[in-house]
Amino acid sequence: MQLTKEDALRAYARMMNTLDTSHIESHLAEDFHYASQWVFEEMTSGREYMEYIVPKLRTISDAGARVYAELAWDESRGAARAEPCVVMAQDQKDNLVATVLAKVDDGRITRIDMCKIPSPKEMRRTGEYP
């Protein structure tokens, strides 16, 4: 079965909701890129991303903090051209802080972008927290 953008985002949301990287690691392309509007440097490999995300998830867990990753739809270009995304929240499900976008090529996740713009408040939420 070919990994779709929706599958990729579901795997990312599952990773964030469980704080377990095993949900996404095997789906990353060799030339995977990660960018965040809050981080200066773009990461340019799956290995580099894993070296970043594993301790970040451990810190969240150790702090007893709660993150919520909900599947959503970006309809900013109209409902007919809607794209799946993930909206991130901290501490409470309605404290939305970021929108996560993904690209998939040849069944692998090639890129994840964590964004303030487009705003997570503008996305159509689904109530699904994988």
Domains of the chain: residue spans and CATH? 5-125 (3.10.450.50)
pLDDT value of residue 77: 83
The gap from C-alpha 95 to its chain's centroid, in whole angstroms, comes to 16
Burial letters for 93-128: b for 16+ Cβ neighbours within 10 Å, e otherwise?
A: eeebbbbbbbebeeebbbbbbbbeeeebeebebeee
In whole numbers, what is the pLDDT of the chain averaged over residues?
A: 95
State mean pLDDT over 2-21.
Answer: 97
Q: Tokens 């301790």 label which residue?
A: 55
Given a cut of 70, is residue 1 above it in pLDDT? Answer: no
pLDDT value of residue 39: 84
Is there a contact between 88 and 100 (Cβ–Cβ < 8 Å)?
yes
pLDDT digits (tens, 9 = 90+) for 100-129: 999 999 999 999 999 999 999 999 999 999
